[in-house]
């Protein structure tokens, strides 16, 4: 039985680890995949053919975040003229740009509030940040997700007036990730609304990425340049605050 249309993870071969769209198959049963939403109007070839048995539609948030970092890393190398294989403005470069857009859309979908379930309210987190801090926030989301927390992320690219009301119903933890990029007016309005409407079992926690920004004395500071071990320790500290809240 051939795979249905949709998003797939590639398990082995040349494209191992990549996330793609399954768009069809040929008469020999080879799967046709693309790494873009935009194949309808782009003039360069961005689709590939792979064996059906290397595809898996069980895609986790961690899979998407890991691949997103790989793509961003390759794009940065190209921009700095430091990539050993991919030339700037080449078809491969354009394919990576398209893939980064696809992954961003999937990240938004996987961290949308409609993915949360009320029965898991005690482990549901509503995280708010600027979209300009996405790379570090992705690290936080990945670490929390790996430890079985369920994160809904609002990066403020689009304003959803009803989303905060949903979060107050669905989530036990509210995490602000503050930085020089976060709109202070938006943050203050959200902060005040959560404080006014939350119940005693819900908690607001502030993470700051820039030392000069502080809202409360007990803000959790995370250096943007933290290595993976340091970041993991910070996430453990964050989780302890969740646990302490749950124990009251």
Q: Which residue has the higher pLDDT, 229 or 46?
A: 229
Instruction: Please determine, for residue 183, whether its predicted confidence score (pLDDT) is greater than 80.
Output: no
CB 157 within 8 A of CB 187: no
Q: Are residues 43 and 166 in the same domain?
A: no
CB 50 within 8 A of CB 86: no
Q: In this predicted structure, what is the pLDDT of residue 1?
A: 40
In a domain, residue 191? The reply is: yes
CATH label of the domain that carries residue 39:
2.30.30.30
Domain hosting residue 95, numbered range: 61-107
Q: Are residues 161 and 242 in the same domain?
A: yes
In a domain, residue 89? The reply is: yes
**Tokens (6 digits) for 174:** 């509210």
Instruction: Give the residue-averaged pLDDT of 87-93.
Output: 82
In the chain, what is the greatest distance between 2 CA atoms, to the nearest angstrom?
65
DSSP state of 182: S
Q: In this predicted structure, what is the pLDDT of residue 38?
A: 57
Q: In this predicted structure, what is the pLDDT of residue 245?
A: 58
Map residue 136 onto helix, strand or coil: helix
Q: Are residues 235 and 124 in the same domain?
A: yes
Could you tell me what percent of the chain has a pLDDT over 90? Answer: 45
The pLDDT mean for the chain works out to 85
Could you tell me what percent of the chain has a pLDDT over 70? Answer: 90
Q: Are residues 131 and 182 in the same domain?
A: yes
Map residue 242 onto helix, strand or coil: helix
DSSP state of 88: T
Q: Are residues 157 and 199 in the same domain?
A: yes
**Tokens (6 digits) for 221:** 């500071």
What domain count does the chain have? 3
Q: In this predicted structure, what is the pLDDT of residue 29?
A: 73
Q: Are residues 124 and 14 in the same domain?
A: no
CA–CA separation, 223 vs 130, rounded Å?
16
Q: Are residues 212 and 135 in the same domain?
A: yes
Dump pLDDT digits (tens) for 197-228.
999 999 999 999 987 777 777 889 999 888 88
Nearest 10 degrees: Cα torsion 140, 142, 148, 152 = 70
Q: Are residues 125 and 180 in the same domain?
A: yes
Model confidence, pTM:
0.85
In a domain, residue 12? The reply is: yes
Q: Are residues 86 and 193 in the same domain?
A: no
Task: Tally Cβ neighbours within 10 Å of residue 23.
Answer: 13
Q: Which of 72, 92, 107 is the last residue of a domain?
A: 107
Q: Are residues 171 and 240 in the same domain?
A: yes
Map residue 46 onto helix, strand or coil: coil
In a domain, residue 1? The reply is: no
Q: Are residues 71 and 180 in the same domain?
A: no
Q: Which residues pair with 175 in a beta bridge?
A: 127, 205
Q: In this predicted structure, what is the pLDDT of residue 247?
A: 43
CA–CA separation, 165 vs 240, rounded Å?
26
Q: Are residues 51 and 65 in the same domain?
A: no
CATH label of the domain that carries residue 194:
3.40.50.360
Map residue 179 onto helix, strand or coil: coil
CB 166 within 8 A of CB 136: no
Dump pLDDT digits (tens) for 15-71.
889 998 888 777 777 888 888 765 555 555 567 788 888 888 889 999 999 999 999
């Amino acid at each position: 039985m051939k795979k249905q249309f949709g998003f797939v993870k590639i398990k082995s071969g040349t494209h191992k680890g990549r996330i793609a769209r399954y768009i069809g198959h040929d008469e020999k049963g080879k799967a046709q995949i693309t790494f873009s939403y935009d194949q309808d109007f782009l003039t360069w070839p961005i689709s590939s053919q792979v064996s059906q048995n290397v595809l898996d539609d069980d895609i986790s948030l961690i899979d998407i975040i890991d691949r997103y970092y790989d793509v961003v890393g390759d794009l940065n190398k190209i921009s700095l003229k430091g990539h050993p294989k991919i030339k700037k403005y080449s078809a491969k470069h354009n394919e990576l740009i398209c893939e980064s857009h696809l992954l961003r859309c999937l990240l938004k979908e996987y961290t949308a509030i409609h993915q949360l379930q009320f029965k898991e309210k005690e482990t549901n987190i509503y995280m708010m940040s600027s979209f300009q801090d996405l790379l570090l926030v992705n690290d936080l989301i990945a670490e929390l997700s790996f430890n079985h927390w369920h994160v809904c992320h609002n990066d403020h690219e689009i304003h959803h007036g009803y989303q905060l009301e949903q979060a107050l119903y669905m989530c036990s933890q509210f995490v602000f990730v503050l930085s020089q990029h976060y709109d202070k007016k938006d943050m203050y309005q959200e902060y005040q609304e959560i404080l006014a409407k939350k119940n005693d079992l819900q908690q607001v926690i502030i993470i700051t990425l820039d030392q000069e920004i502080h809202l409360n004395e007990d803000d959790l500071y995370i250096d943007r340049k933290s290595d993976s071990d340091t970041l993991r320790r910070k996430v453990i500290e964050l989780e302890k605050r969740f646990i302490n809240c749950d124990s009251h």
